[in-house]
Structure 1
Amino acid sequence: MNDLLPNAKKAICFGEILWDNLPSGRLAGGAPMNVAYHLRKLGIDASLISRVGNDQAGQELVGFISSIGISAENIQIDTKQKTSEVLAELKANNEMVYTITYPTAWDFIAWQHNFEQQITASDVFVFGSLAARNEKSKQTLLVLLEHSKFSVFDVNLRAPHYTKENISQLLSKADFAKLNENEIVVLGEWFTSFKKEEDIVKALMEQFALTEILITKGAEGGTYYDSSQSINYSADKVEVIDTVGSGDSFLAAFLSKKLGGEAITDCLDFAAKVAGFITSQKGACPSYDIADIGLK
């Protein structure tokens, strides 16, 4: 666990927490938790808003979250719905395919009055599309977005748990969107008449008033866009153990530097190094310190 500086930037991550049942075993997961974990590892005071069932799996998840230095204060306990369990299967090119059950506890994240104070005191709010699949959590998310200073939408499409309408609504509430190379194609087909990535991005930024879009492309690196520039970055060459959570670690590392006022090229370089290290380890949240990966 890393000690945070007294003036550390604050982040809140919202959405799913779950057990990933991987070919190699059972690991705690969920993109919001992964992002919060890496943000905290990299010096950001990250907290998590989610919900688990009143069951052993839920108790174990809360215990894990506490053990990695993230407060469980905003992890609600649901007496009706079970803690989320996901089956993850490894396909070609080290790609994980997930079977996600519905409904589950994090589909029913309820609004709490103390959330408003927490969100207004935070520097960044990170959310995805999966937690908006059910109306209860979606409405809580929409209220949180009304109070956010800087909203980062990790699009994270997981079929069949998304709709064009939901994605459109969430894009319109975001400042920054992070997508992978497949998701930008889907959004391009939905919301634009363009085929070329640069044209799709420009159209999305105009249509949804986004200030930044980050597209990750796995081993090919990726591209960052804002209103005035596009920057390509290269992925670090590593021996891949698994790709679970690599995109989450990339986003967290990028945001940790961006919140510190670093140049975008430095943010991208740092994020690529962190994500490369994570893909060379087992699971989305391996134990590490910055010194372990030669970063500063």
Structure 2
Amino acid sequence: MRREKLTIRGLCFGEVLWDNLPTGKKLGGAPLNVAYHLNKLGLETQIISRVGKDNGGGELITGCEERGIPTKLLQVDEEHATSTVEVHVDEQLEVTYEIVFPVAWDYIQLTEDDIIAVQHADFLVYGSLSSRHEVSYRTLRELLKLANYKVLDVNLRAPFYSQSRLLDLLSYADLVKMNKEELGIIAQWLDLPKEDNDGQLVEQIMQRYAIDEVIVTYGAAGAIYHAKRTGVSYHFAAYQVDVKDTIGSGDSFLAAFLSKRMRNQVDISIEETMGFAATLSAFVTQSTGACPSYDASTINRFEWIHYLGRGEANSS
């Protein structure tokens, strides 16, 4: 029988920003997106980040509060501006980003409030992009030493990543989410055999860095969950929906996965967990922006409609 934990507290560390989309500006940044969805799904999740002392920063704090994201750990920077990103979506709905450097979230300071929050949180989600500047990277490493369960969201945005820092961040992680391309880059850095398939590459990375769980996403082809403890690799196909944009779809997938994973502390149902993650990701993909409005009934109805007629997932 599964044991469900009812009171769960989470933290997300990293970038918060304004995405300047063709349709207007929207709150963004992978950690913020994950925090938004976790709070929507009933997991009280704070975000550790930094905004500028400017109009954009004030609006961002207000926007978080309006969306139910706690802002107590959002720092205000007197010198550096709030982050903005120019987002371009092509005819194939592929998204590219122009990310400004440096900005306020590159200078996240280590505070006593952050230390206490991490020590009392059930999990900490952190992304690789937030390590691009020495200041935030140093703060993150100190917090990782204190965290109970560490979730690395690999987010390689050229030119804002380095091999040494990404591999260092891997060494702290209990759970890692990455896409197929990022898996290939990490495998190349580690000089893993080119003839190995993705499952073999993941297994070697997990062994080398003592990582318990890995999720590899494949866009429209779904995602595969790998568990070191059980030796299981489980594939769940993506739902087929009319895509409006893919912004934040991976963030919503991770949040939905964690909302199930952290509640079920023993003998988690990976079918249920991956299915719910695929559901929320599909809902976000067919919506505009990374943080659309929804409630439990909206997602339940969406899942029921799109589950009908789909094939079963595969496990091995």
Deviating above 3 A after TM superposition, structure 1's stretches of 4 or more consecutive aligned residues are none
In structure 2, the residue matched to 1:103 is 102
In structure 1, distance between residues paired with 2:191 and 2:36: 35
Letter in 2 for 1:156: N
Q: 1:257 aligns with which of 246, 256, 260?
A: 260
- Secondary structure of 1:144's partner? helix
Q: Distance in 2 between matches of 1:251 and 1:199?
A: 22
Q: How does 1:1-296 map to 2 (within 5 A)?
A: 7-91=6-90, 93-195=92-194, 196-227=197-228, 228-261=231-264, 262-294=268-300
- 1: CA distance, partners of 2:285 / 2:271: 21
Corresponding pairs, count: 291
Q: Secondary structure at the match of 2:92?
A: helix
Q: Give me the whole-angstrom Cα distance separating, in 1, the residues matched to 2:234 and 2:125.
A: 22
Q: Is the partner of 1:231 in helix, strand or coil?
A: strand
Q: Distance in 2 between matches of 1:136 and 1:279?
A: 34
Alpha-carbon contact 1:12-1:36 (below 8 Å) kept? yes
Distance 1:93 1:123 in 2: 39
**Residue aligned with 1:294, SS:** helix
Alpha carbons of structure 1 residues 210 and 92: separation in structure 2 relative to 1, 3 Å: farther
Identity score, percent = 42
CA distance in 2, matches of 1:79, 1:226: 44
Opposite residue 115 of structure 1, the aligned amino acid is D
Letter in 2 for 1:246: S
TM-score (norm 1): 0.96
Q: Distance in 2 between matches of 1:92 and 1:225?
A: 34
Q: Return the structure number with greater relative CO, CA threshold 8 A, min gap 6.
A: 2
Q: Aligned partners of 2:156 and 2:205: how far apart in 1?
A: 17
> Which residue identity does 1:207 align to in structure 2?
R
Whole-angstrom CA distance in 2 between matches of 1:293 and 1:211: 29
* Structure 1 residue identity aligned to 2:251: D
What SS does the corresponding residue of 2:26 show, helix, strand or coil? strand
Secondary structure at the residue paired with 1:242?
A: coil
Contact in 1 for aligned 2:173/2:211 (Cα 8 Å) = yes
Q: Which sections of structure 2, spanning at least 5 residues, go unmatched?
A: 304-316
| Counterpart code for 1:212 | E
Residue 293 of structure 1 deviates from its aligned partner by 2.1
Deviations 1:166-193 (A, max 9, x none): 1010001111110011111111111142
CA contact (8 A) 1:35 1:251 kept: yes
Quick check: 2:6–2:263 contact (8 Å CA) kept in 1? no
Query: Could you list the per-position Cα deviations for residues 151-178 of structure 1 after superposition, in whole angstroms to 9, with x for gaps in the alignment?
Result: 0000011100000001010001111110
Residue 92 of structure 1 deviates from its aligned partner by 5.0
Secondary structure class of the residue paired with 2:98: strand
Residues 75-109 of structure 1: CA deviation (Å, up to 9, x unaligned): 10001000001001113532210110100000000
Counterpart in 2 of 1:3? none
Secondary structure at the residue paired with 2:145? helix
Structure 1 Cα separation of the partners of residues 217 and 203 of structure 2: 17
Give the CA deviation at 1:147.
Answer: 0.5
1:159 corresponds to which letter in structure 2? Answer: A
TM-score (norm 2): 0.90
Q: How far apart are residue 287 of structure 1 and its match?
A: 0.8
116-125 vs 244-253, which moves further: 116-125
Aligned partners of 2:73 and 2:113 also within 8 Å: no
For the residue of structure 2 that corresponds to 1:59, the secondary structure is helix
The residue identity in structure 2 corresponding to 1:277 is F
In 2: Cα distance, 1:194 partner to 1:120 partner = 39
1:63 alignment partner, SS class? helix
